[in-house]
Amino acid sequence: MNRLVLSGGQVIDPANSIDAPGDLVIADGRVVSIERPGSVPADAGGRWIDVSGCIVCPGFIDPHVSLREPGFEEDECTASGTAAALAGGFTSVAAQSDTDPVVDNRSSAEFVRLQAERAGNCRVYPLGAVTKRSSGEELAEIGQLVAGGAVGFSDAKRPVANAEVMRRALEYTQMFNRPILHFAIVPELAEGGVMHEGFESTRLGLRGIPAAAQDIMVGRDIALVQLTGGRLHLMNISTEDSVERIRIAQRRGLKITADVTPHHLYLTDREMDRFDTMYKCFPPLRTPEHIRALIEGLKDGTISCISADHQPLAIEKKAVELDIAPPGICGLETLLPVCAKALIEPGHLSWSQLISKLTCGPADVLGLPHGRLTSGVLADVTVIDPSEVWTISAGDFRSRSRNTPFDGLQVQGRVIMTIVGGDVRYRSRPATKF
Amino acid sequence: MRFSEVPIAGPWGERHLLGLERLTADQIQTVLDLADYYHRMTQKGAVRLDLLKGFVVANLFFENSTRTRTSFSLAAKRLGADTVDFSASSSSLSKGETFVDTALTIEAMGVDLVVCRHRTPGAPHLLSRHLRAGVLNAGDGTHEHPTQGLLDILTIRQKLGRIHGLTVALVGDIRHSRVARSNIHGLIKLGARVIVCGPSTLIPADIVELGVEVAYDLDRILPEVDCVNLLRVQFERQRGAFFPSISEYAALFGMNGDRIRRGKDGMLVLAPGPINRGVELTPEVADGPNSVILNQVSNGLLVRMACLTLLARERQKAVEVAQ
C-alpha cells in the first residue's frame, strides 16, 4: 500500500465543516482519514511529511482557465499552464474553449484531455463552446462535447449577445445537466473600452466601460434562467448591482452561481493612471465601492467561487499602447497571496471561507467529485504556509507569460505543496525542509 | 548662450512634460515667464538663439498634425537644436514593431528630447519609463496636450494681465478633448473659475470632480465669462452620434456676432484650431476684434521654446551627473 501522511497541519475542509489540527492520511491516491494531530508516528510506514504551521486543504479548482493551446502557444501551452496551476495550488482546472480552433466539437475537447494527460500536471476538464466558433449564432454540438468530456459550456470572453440563442442554450444544456459559464457584458457598451467608466476615465481621457454593461447582461441572463430553468454560472462579476441582482435571483431559487477574480478584489481603476497595460483586464478594474459589494457577495455566499481568470499573454502583446493591448492577467500563480491580501489580512474572510471559494465552490458549479477531503475521494490536496512572507517575481512563473500587475509585490501566504491523486506534483522548497 | 544666461526664476526640476495635472502652479508660472522672456527677445529682433546647440530634438508623431509639429520644429530650430522628424500614421502593431521599440531605436541615434504625439492616452508616459531622453507630450489621445494648455493660458495672461479670479468657459466637446483637460488643470491651479459648456453627451458627469462647473446653456453663462475657449468638435474621435446635427450644434454652441454682443466687453475668444469655421464659430468672430486665435499660434512657438529649454536644461544636468 502506497501511503502518505501530512502531519501536524491545520486541516481545513469546508465541505465537511472541518477546521482543526489533524494528520491527513492518504493511501493509494485516495484520502483515508483525518487522524488526531500527532497520532500517526513518522515510522508508521510510507511517506511522512511534517507540515506543522501549515494549512492542509483540498486542492484548488479553477472553473475557467485559458490554456491557449492550440493556436496561441506564444502565450501558453497545456504543459506550462498546468505547471503554473500546480504552483498556484490548483489540482483541477477547467480549460476555456477560446483556443484556435475553438473547442466546439468532440475531437477538440478530447485533444484538451490528451494534452493534459501528456503534461501530467494537474487535472484538466474541457469547457465546450456554447456556439459554433463562439460566434454567438448557432449552438455548438453540445451533446458531442459532453461525450468528449466537456463539464460546462462557455464562449469565454465573447458574450452570447443574442437572447434567443442564449435561451436555447440554457434549455438544451439542461438535458446534460451541465452549466453555461457566461461572460455577461453588453458588447455595444464595452466596445473600445479600456477601463472602468467614471471619474478616473474622465481624468485620464481613456474610454470607459460602464458598470451597466455588466449589470444589464446579468439582468437579461437572470430573466432567461427564470424562463428556462437552466443552470448558469456568471464569470468575472465586477459590479455592485450585478451582485445584488444575483443575490435576489438566488433567493428566488434560480440555479445561478458566480465568481470573481483576485484582481477585481484588490485593485481599483486608480491604478490606470500608470497607463500600464498590465492593469488592463476585462471586465475592467472597478472602484472601492464595487469591491466592497463583491466582498459582501463572497461573505454571504452570493459569489461561491474565486477564479484567477488566467489570461496569459506574450510580452510583445502587452508592450504596446493601452488601447490596442489585449486585456488579461496571468493569474494562476498569484491567486492565493492576492486573495490573502484582499480578504484575509483585512479580516473579511476566514481561511476556511476563502478555501471554500477555491475548492467545493467551483467543484459544485462544475459537478466535479473534488474539492473535499471526504474519506475515499481522490487525494487532491494543497498545503499552504499562511505565514510565509515572500515577494512575487514574474520571472519565476511557470507560466509561459509574465503579464502580471503584481510583480515585486510583497505578500504573505504561499502554496508550498500541491498533491494530485496522492502524488506530490509541486513543492515550493526542497523536500528536506519539510 | 548658456542656460545660466536665461532668466529662469521659478521652480522646474522635471525631466519630462507629460501633462499639466502633474505640475504645480509655480512650475506653470516658470514656463509662462520664460515664454514671456522669449517674447521680449523676439520683439527685440533676436529670432535665433544657440541655447540648444548640439541638442537633438526628435518629433515623434504617430498621429497626423501639421500645426503642432511645425510649431515644435520651429521652436527647436530657433533655439539652435537639430531636429529629426519621424511620423507613423499606422499603429505600431501593424508594422510588427512595438511602439517602445520604435522609440528606443530613435533614441539610440543620440536623441536628447522626444516630442511625442500619439492617439493613445498615456503613450508618452510609457515612453518616459523606457527612454533616457526627456519626453514632451504633444498630445496623447483624449488625455492631455500640455503645451496647448500653456499657450492658451499665456495668451489670456498677456491680454488680461492675470489668471487668478478670471472666469473661463471651455465650450464644446469636453469628453474627447485633451485641450480641455490641460486647460482645466492649468487654469484651476492658477486660480481661475472654469465652466465647461457643451452638449450633455459630450460632458462626462464626473468632470465636476476636477473642480469645474458644468453648463449646457451658453447664452446664460456668457455675461459672466472673461474668455471663451471654443474647442474643436472632434468628429474623428467620436464613436457614434453625440448630437443630432452640425447645424443644431452651431445653433446651441456656436460663437457668432450675437453672442459676442451678449458677452462682457472685451471678452476674449480663443480657439485651439484647426477651427471648423461655421461650426464652433463664425468667420465674423474668428476674424473679429475679440479673437486672439493668431496670438495663440505665435504664443505656441514661445511656449514650446520655453518647454524645450527647461527640459534641455534638466537633460544636461542628468548627462553631467552621469559623467
List of residues 6+ apart from B89 with CB closer than 8 A: B62, B63, B64
Distance between CA atoms of residues A180 and A129, nearest Å: 9
Per-residue pLDDT of chain A (434 residues; tens, 9 = 90+): 689 999 999 999 999 999 999 999 999 999 999 999 988 887 777 899 999 999 999 999 999 999 999 999 999 999 999 999 999 999 999 999 999 999 999 999 999 999 999 999 999 999 999 999 999 999 999 999 999 999 999 999 999 999 999 999 999 999 999 999 999 999 999 999 999 999 999 999 999 999 999 999 999 999 999 999 999 999 999 999 999 999 999 999 999 999 999 999 999 999 999 999 999 999 999 999 999 999 999 999 999 999 999 999 999 899 888 998 999 999 999 999 999 999 999 999 999 999 999 999 999 999 999 999 999 999 999 999 999 999 999 999 999 999 999 999 999 999 999 999 999 999 997 655 44
Residue B93 to residue A324, Cβ atoms within 8 A:
yes
Which residues in chain A are closer than 8 Å to B21, comparing Cβ atoms?
A: 203
> By the 8 A CB rule, do A191 and A248 touch?
no
Which residues in chain A are closer than 8 Å to B201, comparing Cβ atoms?
A: none
Which residues in chain B are closer than 8 Å to A204, comparing Cβ atoms?
A: 121-122, 143
> Sign (positive/negative) of CA torsion A421, A427, A428, A433?
positive
Residue A275 to residue B125, Cβ atoms within 8 A:
yes
Partner residue opposite B121 with nearest CB, options A192, A205, A324: A205
Query: Which entry of A62, A259, A309, A385 is annotated as an active-site residue?
Result: A309
Distance between CA atoms of residues A4 and A2, nearest Å: 7
Residue A205 to residue B100, Cβ atoms within 8 A:
no
CA distances to A67, A313, A316, B94, B149 from A73, rounded to whole Å, are 9, 10, 13, 20, 46
List residues of chain B with CB under 8 Å from any CB of chain A.
21, 91-93, 98-101, 118-123, 125-126, 140-144, 175, 178, 181, 204, 206-207, 209-210, 239
Partner residue opposite B204 with nearest CB, options A191, A202, A316: A202
The sheet with strand B82-87 has its strands ordered as: B82-87, B56-61, B113-118, B134-140
Chain B: residue whose CA lies nearest to A324: B93
> By the 8 A CB rule, do A298 and A348 touch?
yes
B181 to chain A, closest Cα gap in Å: 7
Q: Cell match 546647440: residue?
A: B53
Distance between CA atoms of residues B140 and A94, nearest Å: 41
Question: Which one of B128, B129, B142 makes the best mutation probe of the A interface by having the most chain A beta carbons within 10 Å?
Answer: B142
B96 to chain A, closest Cα gap in Å: 10
pLDDT at residue B11 is higher than 50: yes
- The CATH T-level fold of domain B146-293 is Rossmann fold (3.40.50)
**C-alpha Rg value of chain A to the nearest Å:** 21
Say if residue B53 is exposed, middle or buried (CB neighbours under 10 Å; 0-12, 13-18, 19+). exposed
Domains of chain A by start residue, with CATH: 3-56+378-433 (2.30.40.10), 59-366 (3.20.20.140)
Per-residue confidence (pLDDT) for residue B320, from 0 to 100: 87
Of A269-278, B35-44, B239-248, the poorest mean pLDDT is in B239-248
> Sign (positive/negative) of CA torsion A290, A292, A293, A294?
positive
> By the 8 A CB rule, do B145 and B179 touch?
yes
Q: Cell match 463572497: residue?
A: A298
- Does domain B3-144+298-317 match CATH 3.40.50.1370? yes
Which residues in chain A are closer than 8 Å to B142, comparing Cβ atoms?
A: 205-207
Residue A324 to residue B141, Cβ atoms within 8 A:
no
A318 to chain B, closest Cα gap in Å: 9
Work out the pLDDT band at B97, boundaries 50, 70, 90.
low
Per-residue confidence (pLDDT) for residue B236, from 0 to 100: 67
Work out the pLDDT band at B91, boundaries 50, 70, 90.
very low
The reply to whether A1 touches chain B by the CB within 8 Å rule is: no
How many other C-beta atoms are found inside a 10 Å radius of the C-beta of residue B219? 12
Question: Which of A33, A109, A98, A40 is closest to A65 using CA atoms?
Answer: A98
Same fold, B3-144+298-317 and B146-293: yes
Query: Which entry of B16, B145, B259, B313 is annotated as an active-site residue?
Result: B145
Question: Which one of B62, B63, B120 makes the best mutation probe of the A interface by having the most chain A beta carbons within 10 Å?
Answer: B120
Query: Which entry of B40, B53, B95, B220 is annotated as an active-site residue?
Result: B95
> By the 8 A CB rule, do B225 and B263 touch?
yes
The reply to whether A20 touches chain B by the CB within 8 Å rule is: no
Question: Which of A365, A314, A281, A395 is closest to A93 using CA atoms?
Answer: A365
Question: Which of A292, A336, A335, A341 is closest to A310 using CA atoms?
Answer: A335
Q: Cell match 529670432: residue?
A: B47
Q: What is the 3-state secondary structure (H, E, C) of A225-294?
A: HHHHCCCEEECCCCCHHHHHHHHHHHHCCCCEEEEECHHHHHCCHHHHHHCCHHHCCCCCCCCHHHHHHH
Is B117 considered catalytic here?
A: yes
Distance between CA atoms of residues A272 and A197, nearest Å: 12
The reply to whether A274 touches chain B by the CB within 8 Å rule is: yes
> By the 8 A CB rule, do A18 and A373 touch?
yes
Question: Which one of A188, A201, A203, A270 makes the best mutation probe of the B interface by having the most chain B beta carbons within 10 Å?
Answer: A203
pLDDT at residue B92 is higher than 80: no
Residue B181 to residue A203, Cβ atoms within 8 A:
yes
Chain B: residue whose CA lies nearest to A326: B93
Residue A275 to residue B204, Cβ atoms within 8 A:
no
> By the 8 A CB rule, do A391 and A334 touch?
no
Distance between CA atoms of residues B315 and A237, nearest Å: 47
Per-residue confidence (pLDDT) for residue B93, from 0 to 100: 46
Chain-wide mean pLDDT for chain B? 91
> Sign (positive/negative) of CA torsion A183, A186, A187, A190?
negative
Which residues in chain A are closer than 8 Å to B120, comparing Cβ atoms?
A: 321-324
CA distances to A40, A139, A221, A365 from A166, rounded to whole Å, are 53, 9, 8, 19
Residue B207 to residue A202, Cβ atoms within 8 A:
yes
Distance between CA atoms of residues A247 and A300, nearest Å: 9
Residue B140 to residue A205, Cβ atoms within 8 A:
yes
Question: Which one of A74, A274, A321, A324 makes the best mutation probe of the B interface by having the most chain B beta carbons within 10 Å?
Answer: A321
Residue B206 to residue A199, Cβ atoms within 8 A:
yes
Per-residue confidence (pLDDT) for residue A1, from 0 to 100: 64
Q: Where are the beta strands (DSSP E) in A96-165?
A: 123-128, 152-153
The sheet with strand B213-215 has its strands ordered as: B213-215, B193-197, B167-171, B227-230, B268-270
Question: Which of A188, A200, A357 is closest to A289 using CA atoms?
Answer: A200
Q: Where are the alpha helices (DSSP H) in chain B?
A: 25-43, 67-78, 99-107, 123-130, 146-160, 178-189, 218-221, 246-253, 257-262, 283-286, 293-322
pLDDT at residue B113 is higher than 50: yes
B210 to chain A, closest Cα gap in Å: 8
pLDDT at residue B81 is higher than 90: yes
Amino acid at A392: I
- Give pTM, 2 decimals: 0.91
**Residue boundaries of the structural domains of chain B:** 3-144+298-317, 146-293
Which residues in chain A are closer than 8 Å to B130, comparing Cβ atoms?
A: none
ipTM summary value: 0.86
Is A104 considered catalytic here?
A: no
The reply to whether A198 touches chain B by the CB within 8 Å rule is: yes
Q: What percent of chain B shows pLDDT beyond 90?
A: 72
Residue A340 CA to its chain's centroid (Å): 15
Length of chain B, please? 323
Q: Which residue has better confidence, B105 or A393? A: A393
Residue B209 to residue A199, Cβ atoms within 8 A:
yes
Residue B98 to residue A319, Cβ atoms within 8 A:
yes
